[in-house]
Amino acid sequence: MQQIRRTAALAATALTVVLTLTACGASTQSPPHHDSRMKKAAGIGSLSIVCNKDVWEATRPDGLKKVETTSADGSRGQRGMVRVTLTGAQLVTYFDQLDQDAHPGWMGPDLPDQEAISGRVYDALAPAIDKATTARSTADPAPEILIDDTLATKAP
């Protein structure tokens, strides 16, 4: 009887270890340097993103529902582009949500449309955040990210 208990205890321990190890990355498979990007994003005073309104609405986390958009200037605004200005803290929230939606782990949701949209925005923001440096003066421009892919030819 004692041997059975010992075997059961070892099996339970082994199962716990296996579940713990396999759960790592189960919900999100963040790309390299994601954590350092989050820290850099926190230090950005403000950042503007210019993108299609549908892209913003599809990727905006619940915690940023109150962030207002303005119509982009000129022809971009006429094409449905909006400007979203985020503080560093808001950018951290947004970037983290983009990561979860763009890089789901094996136990994450299977939402290919959300993954594609969030992945496109994540890929636009990541290099800009990587290049962020400490402001040199108050005259430094606020960073702006433009997400406006185009086709090489006009539609017929």
One-letter identity of residue 14: A
Q: Please give the Cα distance from 102 to 95 (Å, whole number).
A: 10
112-130 and 34-42 helices cross at what angle (nearest 10)?
60
Tens digit of each residue's pLDDT (9 = 90 or more) over 137-148 = 888 888 899 999
How far are the Cα atoms of 34, 37, 57, 60, 121 from residue 40, in angstroms, in the given order?
10, 5, 24, 20, 17
Mean pLDDT over 128-135 rounds to 88
CB 26 within 8 A of CB 106: yes
- pTM for this prediction: 0.76
105: left (phi over 0), alpha (psi -120 to 50) or beta: beta
Residue 154 has pLDDT above 90, yes or no: no
Tokens read off for 95: 């970037």
Q: Considering the chain, what percentage of its residues have pLDDT values greater than 90?
A: 56
Tens digit of each residue's pLDDT (9 = 90 or more) over 56-67 = 999 999 999 999
Tokens 């022809």 belong to 75
Task: State residue 62's pLDDT score.
Answer: 94
Q: Please give the Cα distance from 6 to 29 (Å, whole number).
A: 36
Cβ count within 10 A of residue 82:
20
- Neighbour order of strands in the sheet with 144-146: 69-71, 81-87, 46-52, 144-146
Residue 25 has pLDDT above 90, yes or no: no
Longest dimension (CA), the chain: 81
